[in-house]
Amino acid sequence: MRTIHSRMTPLRQRMLEDLQLRNYSEHTIRAYLRGVADFAKHFGTSPQHLGPEQVRTYQLFLVQEKKVAWSSIVQTVCALRFFYRVTLGRPAMLEYIASPRRPFTLPTILSQAEVASLLTVPRNLKHRAILTTLYAAGLRVSELCRLQVADIDSARMVLRVQQGKGQHDRYVMLSPKLLPLLRQYWQQEKPRPWLFPGIPPTRPITARMVHRICRNAGQAAHLPKVIHPHLLRHSFATHLLEAGVDLRRIQLLLGHRSLRTTSRYLHVTPQVLHATPSPLDTLPLEQP
C-alpha cells in the first residue's frame, strides 16, 4: 500500500482508512480507490462535488462508450456506493447509483486430458509447480501467490489457505501427486518464506506473473482456450463434481460463502445432463 500513500489527497486518505477499518482486502482497497479516482478524473474534479447526474452519466459512459465488462461496472458501483455512504456520509445517494444485474455466464472448463497436457508442458520446475498447485487445490490466484512454505502440512496432507477471499482461513487437500513435486521444487529453489517468491524474493509472486505463466503454458500445449488461473479453479470444481463429490464439500474446498455460487458448476457437468432424459425419449414415436 506504500505506493498509494505517496500520492494521497485528504479525501482519498480518508476513504483508504474507512476501507482499512472495515478490514477490506488489499486487492479490494486498490480496486475501490481506482474506481472512485477514475470517476473523478472523467469529470476533472473532486468526487465530493459530483452528484446523481454525474453518476448516471458516468455509468452510461462505461456501458455505451467504453463497453467495459459487467464485472468491472459492478465493481465501480460498489466503490461509489461505499464512497458516498461511508466516506462522504451521504447514504441518500445510493438510490441514484444503479446496480446492474450480473449476466449469468457458464465458466469455461478444461477436460482432464487438456489439464494433463497443460501441467506437463512447462520445462521450468517452478512454473510446473505453480500450475499443478492451482489445479490440485482449486486455489484463487491471490491465494496461491500468498502461500508460504509453512502452509504445507505434509503430516495431515493439507494446505492452509490464509485469509482467502472474505478474510477467511481454510484448509484444502494436499494431493499425494503434488507433494513430491513441491518437495522437488523446494530442494531446487529453497524458497522462504513465500512458497512462490517474486522479484525481489522477499515478496510473493504477483498475480500478473501467474497469469503470464498460465497463458504461456496454454500456448506451448497448443490448447485452443485462453488459459488463466481461474480456469484451473473452474476445472478443479467441475472434475470433482463429475467424480461424485457432493456440492457442499466442493463449496467448502473452494471457500464459497454461498452454495448458489458453487451450484453454477452443475450447469457444465455432462453427468448431470446425461442422467436426465429428454422428454422426447418417452414419446411413443414410430420410426419412419
Residue 233 a catalytic site member: yes
Nearest of 205, 198, 148, 157 to residue 178 by alpha carbon: 157
Instruction: Find the angle CA(144)-CA(149)-CA(154) to the nearest 5 degrees.
Output: 100
Whether 178 contacts 133, CB under 8 Å: yes
Q: What is the pLDDT of residue 265?
A: 72
Of 140, 146, 234, 239, the catalytic one is 140
Q: What is the pLDDT of residue 78?
A: 94
Of 146, 233, 234, 239, the catalytic one is 233
Beta bridge partners of 172: 159
Residue 85 a catalytic site member: no
Of 14, 211, 228, 230, the catalytic one is 230
CA distance 227 to 35: 27
Question: What domains can you pick out in the chain, each with its CATH number?
Answer: 2-96 (1.10.150.130), 112-272 (1.10.443.10)
Q: What is the pLDDT of residue 2?
A: 44
User: Whose grid coordinates read 505434509?
Assistant: 154
CA distance 38 to 26: 18
Of 32, 58, 185, 265, the catalytic one is 265
pTM for the full model? 0.75
Q: What is the pLDDT of residue 70?
A: 84
Beta strands in 104-241 (DSSP E): 152-153, 158-164, 168-173
Residue 22 a catalytic site member: no
Residue 140 a catalytic site member: yes
Of 126, 160, 165, 170, the catalytic one is 165
Per-residue burial over 18-53, b = 16 or more CB atoms within 10 Å of its CB, e = otherwise? bbeeeebeeebbbbbbebbbebbebeeeebeebeee
Whether 188 contacts 279, CB under 8 Å: no
Residue 81 a catalytic site member: no
DSSP state at residue 71: H
288 residues of the chain, pLDDT tens digit each: 444 444 679 999 999 999 999 988 888 899 999 999 999 999 999 999 999 999 999 999 999 999 888 888 989 999 999 999 999 999 999 988 988 776 667 778 999 999 999 999 999 999 999 999 999 999 999 999 999 999 999 999 999 998 766 667 899 999 999 999 999 999 999 999 999 999 999 999 999 999 999 999 999 999 999 999 999 999 999 899 888 888 889 998 998 888 777 777 776 666 655 555 666 566 776 666
Residue 165 a catalytic site member: yes
